[in-house]
Amino acid sequence: MDIYDLVIIGGGPTGINIAVEAKKAGLSYLVIEKGVLTNSLFHFPANMTFFSTSKNLEIVEIPFISHTDKPTRRESLEYYRRIAESYELDIRYYEEVKTMSRSSNIFDIATSKSSYQAHQVVVATGFYDKPRMLNVPGEELSKVKHYYDEAHPYVGQKVLVIAANSACDVALETWQKGAEVTMAIRSPELYDRVKYWILPNIKNRIAEGSIPAYFNSSVTKITETTVELDTPDGPITIENDFVLAMTGYKPDYELFTRLGVPITDDQEREPIFDESTLETSVEGLYVAGVITAGMTTSKLFIENTRHHASVIVNHIKSKENSQS
């Protein structure tokens, strides 16, 4: 079995960026992705527009051309696909990492399809695959969705949107396409990171009563036909066909445990790593991208983690040079 210099777990923008830098540096590498290329971006809402500009999403010095200043999901998928094709990146799709162990400075990685060995491993899995659950009765019902695709399935339906940042987009789009929308918002006001071109619209719809909103409120129970809310005025029950729980996401901590990634025991649950190298306390095991912020998922994005690729590859090369 060939021993790779570097195995990258996760084929998102960060994983792609690291793979390109590794290839440029002459490292043997492999990317393992459990789904499709940029799996998280693929599962974003069909009509989503990024908050970041295309310039801030660029990686590996390849221009990101979009029709407007802020690119769409479709444009981002095309952009990262072109990078993977241009550099002929070695990416294994639909392959999930199951276990990893380390002995004699070699990582043994077992996946759903094969097994590999590597001197170094980078975990760059993002956080979009694991929703933050409500943990209320009825959340297991098929009417409860933690991911939003498009508005059409909710035409003529009574929809409760549970608010976080993306919930305002969802509420407006489903309402505009003919859903009867209500919002449940845990905080006393809308999230301060709502896209600035969305915020006035959603505020106006709430103010005029087109989209009723319950602030300082949370869901306590879901049934096939209703949702129960705990509000400042007491518990209420509303008729309901669908619950769109836009409550945010978190890193895959089960995977971290399987891979031996050390985690802080505080509320943030951040991976423990050297800020200057991104190497964890396990020699040769690195973390990269948005997962380095742990549960504080609003802290990091593609645009402010682009440097992770060069940091990791430069550190690997420096270790090689010191050993030669």
Q: Where are the domains of the chain?
A: 3-130+249-323, 133-245
Helix (H) or strand (E) holding 172: helix 167-176
Position 185 scores a pLDDT of 94
Structure tokens at 90: 């070695």
Position 165 scores a pLDDT of 56
Pairing of strands 180-185, 158-162: parallel
Tell me how far CA of residue 169 lies from CA of 38, 46, 49, 76, 107, in angstroms.
22, 12, 10, 19, 43
Q: How many CB atoms lie within 10 A of CB 140?
A: 8
Helix (H) or strand (E) holding 291: none
Pairing of strands 144-145, 158-162: unpaired
CATH class belonging to 3-130+249-323:
alpha beta
Position 45 scores a pLDDT of 87
Tens-binned pLDDT, residue by residue, of the chain (324 aa):
699 999 999 999 999 999 999 999 999 999 999 999 999 999 888 888 888 899 989 998 889 989 998 999 999 999 999 999 999 999 999 999 999 999 989 999 999 999 999 999 999 999 888 899 999 999 999 999 999 999 999 999 999 999 865 689 899 999 999 999 999 999 998 877 777 788 899 999 999 999 999 999 999 999 999 999 999 999 999 999 999 999 989 999 999 999 999 999 999 999 999 999 999 999 999 999 999 999 998 888 889 999 999 999 999 999 988 876
Domains 3-130+249-323 and 133-245 are alike in CATH topology: yes
For the chain, report the end-to-end CA distance as a whole number of angstroms: 23
3-state SS class at 238: strand
Note the CATH architecture for domain 133-245: 3-Layer(bba) Sandwich (3.50)
Instruction: Indicate the pTM of the whole model.
Output: 0.89
Strand partners, 161: 183, 244
- Residue 109's φ and ψ, nearest 5 degrees, are -115, 125
